[in-house]
């Protein structure tokens, strides 16, 4: 089943790089009583993710904050080491975006947003999407038809829908 507006996000634990190495973070802790944007990409350092999707949320971060968004989270099935390097390379970490790893893809599969693309070597990846979540409930969900496009899931599109 694919997640939709009105659904509550399932319990999930992600990884990120902390001061002492990889650490676990519970999705519920990030969303409880908060308004967050969660966007997902098929892979760190992949062309559309690197040149379009992440930059769109860097550009719009202040506008989301003005609308009461507490945090913008980028999720990928990459490991936390790759996510840290990617956050540094894109400027996302410096801009204040949170980059998290769904390394096993368990959350991605549970919400029905997983896909495989063997011809390009992408297996057990996340579809490209962006959602607005309030207190753990999905309020808006913008999913791309193709993982190579960033039209409806970009920062500007989600912001315009709010």
Go through the domains of the chain in sequence order and give each one's CATH number.
13-161 (3.40.30.10)
Record the pTM: 0.95
**Each residue's pLDDT tens digit, 79-130:** 999 999 999 999 999 999 999 999 999 999 999 999 777 676 666 889 999 9
Task: Tell me whether residue 49 is one of the annotated catalytic residues.
Answer: yes
Q: Distance (Å, rounded) from C-alpha 33 to C-alpha 94?
A: 25
Residue burial 117-150, b: 16+ Cβ < 10 Å; e: rest:
eeeeebeebbbbbbbbbbebebeebbbbeebeeb
Q: How many residues does the chain have?
A: 162
* CB contact at 8 A, 37 and 72: yes
Q: Is 40 exposed, middle or buried (0-12, 13-18, 19+ CB in 10 A)?
A: buried
Of 49, 52, 82, 130, the catalytic one is: 49
């Amino acid at each position: 089943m694919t997640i939709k507006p009105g659904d509550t996000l399932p319990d999930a634990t992600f990884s990120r790089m902390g001061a002492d190495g990889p650490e676990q973070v519970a999705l519920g802790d990030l969303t409880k009583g908060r308004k967050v944007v969660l966007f997902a990409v098929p892979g760190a350092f992949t062309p559309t993710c690197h040149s379009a999707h992440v930059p769109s949320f860097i550009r719009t971060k202040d506008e989301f904050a003005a609308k009461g968004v507490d945090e913008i989270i980028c999720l990928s099935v990459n490991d936390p080491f790759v996510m840290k390097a990617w956050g540094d390379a894109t400027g996302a970490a410096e801009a204040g975006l949170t980059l998290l790893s769904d390394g096993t893809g368990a959350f991605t599969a549970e919400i029905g947003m997983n896909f495989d693309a063997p011809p390009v070597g992408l297996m057990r990846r996340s579809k490209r999407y962006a959602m607005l979540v309030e207190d753990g409930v999905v309020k808006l969900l913008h999913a791309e038809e193709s993982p190579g496009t960033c039209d409806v899931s970009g920062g500007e599109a989600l912001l315009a829908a709010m």
